Chains A and B, each alone.
Chain A
Amino acid sequence: GDSVTQMEGPVTLSEEAFLTINCTYTATGYPSLFWYVQYPGEGLQLLLKATKADDKGSNKGFEATYRKETTSFHLEKGSVQVSDSAVYFCALSERAGNNRKLIWGLGTSLAVNP
């Protein structure tokens, strides 16, 4: 079945460091891919998305490129801030008949130190 695999955390970085969080997927069709962010005690919110191969999603300095050849959607940011400390979830979305499937990674916790 479909699945999403994220790198395990926690990831700890110093402010202004480069961030990469790896995400790979398996899917039977052509999914859309998402990154969500969850701040402590809150729900998830969409960070960025890509709906087809080679698309690049970007938001708030974060980027991820949909790589069909490597089935990957790695999240990157050139210079992290303390305010980026959160849990990041990679997800895929696919149609299954009339229904929609959402498959989630386990999440990667990021802590950014000043």
Chain B
Amino acid sequence: DGGITQSPKYLFRKEGQNVTLSCEQNLNHDAMYWYRQDPGQGLRLIYYSQIVNDFQKGDIAEGYSVSREKKESFPLTVTSAQKNPTAFYLCASSYRGRDTEAFFGQGTRLTVV
């Protein structure tokens, strides 16, 4: 079955450590997105990529980094520079057409301890 997979579902990190969240899709989508979700703040765009080997900063990119070496994969690294990393992280993918829906993973809940 086609879909988009995020792992792990829950992640704990000590302060000062970098951590990488995985996102893989087998939908043959060109575009992939990372969002952060905090209570009452909706979805905030961290990074997005419309094509392999290219990506752009979203609204809250500081303290995060990404890579897009393969069409199927768009990992997100939360670095120690991110001041408040505890949040729910969502990965999504879509075709690049205006009318097509975005598909979401199940999310990763990151907690800094």
Contact = CB atoms under 8 A, between A and B. Distances in A.
Interface of A: 31-32, 34, 36, 41-46, 49, 51, 89, 93-95, 98-100, 102, 104-107
Interface stretch (B12-20, B64-72, B77-85, B102-110): B102-110
B57 interface: no
Instruction: Identify the 7 closest CB pairs spanning chains A and B, nearest first.
Output: A43-B104, A106-B42, A46-B101, A44-B104, A51-B99, A104-B43, A95-B98
B33 A93 contact: no
A75 to B, nearest CB: 16
B33 A102 contact: yes
B3 to A, nearest CB: 10
Interface residues of B, number: 25
B42 A98 contact: no
A22 B100 CA distance: 22
